[in-house]
A and B are shown apart, each in its own frame.
Chain A
Amino acid sequence: AQKITQTQPGMFVQEKEAVTLDCTYDTSDQSYGLFWYKQPSSGEMIFLIYQGSYDEQNATEGRYSLNFQKARKSANLVISASQLGDSAMYFCAMREANTDKLIFGTGTRLQVFP
Chain B
Amino acid sequence: DVKVTQSSRYLVKRTGEKVFLECVQDMDHENMFWYRQDPGLGLRLIYFSYDVKMKEKGDIPEGYSVSREKKERFSLILESASTNQTSMYLCASPGRGADTQYFGPGTRLTVL
Tell me whether A20 is interfacial, beta carbon within 8 Å.
Answer: no
Q: Could you give 19 example pairs across A and B, Cβ below 8 Å?
A: A33-B99, A35-B99, A37-B103, A43-B105, A43-B106, A45-B92, A47-B100, A52-B98, A91-B42, A95-B98, A100-B31, A101-B48, A101-B58, A102-B101, A104-B42, A105-B42, A106-B40, A106-B41, A107-B42
Residues of B55-106 whose CB lies within 8 A of A:
58, 88, 90, 92, 94, 98-103, 105-106
Q: Is the CB of A50 within 8 A of B105?
A: no
Q: Is the CB of A44 within 8 A of B98?
A: no
Partner pick for A45 among B40, B98, B103, CB 8 A cutoff: B103
Please, which residues of chain B bring their CB within 8 A of the CB of A35? 99, 101
Give, as a whole number of angstroms, the nearest-CB distance from A62 to chain B.
Answer: 15
Tell me whether B108 is interfacial, beta carbon within 8 Å.
Answer: yes
Which size bracket describes the interface of B in this complex? 20 to 34
Q: Is the CB of A95 within 8 A of B101?
A: yes
Please, which residues of chain A bring their CB within 8 A of the CB of B9? 43
CB nearest to B9 among chain A residues? A43
Tell me the bound Cα distance from A4 to B102 in angstroms. 20
Please, which residues of chain A bring their CB within 8 A of the CB of B102? 47
CB nearest to A32 among chain B residues? B98
Interface bits A54-76 vs B (CB < 8 Å: 1, else 0): 00000000000000000000000
Q: Is the CB of A43 within 8 A of B43?
A: no
